[in-house]
């Protein structure tokens, strides 16, 4: 016959650290689902995928170019002449 014994409190596993998680977050589940579905969508619509990737790269290059230009012109007074109206002076400053 089995004779069990009562385990002391020191041998019990702590509740917080080693226990399995109760539930997953909805955001993590959606991110995992998007990672699984994304390759199928990309292979189903190759033209749209190439267009989106090209647009993303072009936007990144354009934003870097604009930021570089703004940094170069920072602090200097620039003028812009409107024929028949006058001249506008402006200065680009950074915070």
Cα(74)–Cα(92) distance, integer angstroms:
5
pLDDT single digits (tens) 40-85? 999 999 999 999 999 999 999 999 998 888 888 777 888 889 899 9
Cα(36)–Cα(4) distance, integer angstroms:
48
| Res. 93: pLDDT tops 80 | no
| Res. 18: pLDDT tops 60 | no
pLDDT computed for residue 11 by the predictor:
64
Q: Which of 91, 89, 60 is nearest to 74 (CA)?
A: 91
């Amino acid at each position: 016959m089995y004779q069990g014994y009562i385990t002391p409190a020191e041998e019990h596993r702590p509740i917080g650290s080693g226990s399995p998680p109760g539930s997953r977050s909805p955001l993590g589940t959606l991110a995992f689902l998007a990672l699984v579905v994304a390759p199928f969508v990309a292979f189903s619509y190759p033209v749209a995928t190439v267009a989106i990737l090209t647009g993303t790269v072009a936007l990144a290059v354009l934003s870097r170019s604009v930021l570089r230009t703004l940094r170069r012109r920072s602090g200097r007074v620039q003028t812009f002449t409107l024929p028949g109206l006058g001249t506008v002076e402006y200065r680009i400053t950074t915070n």
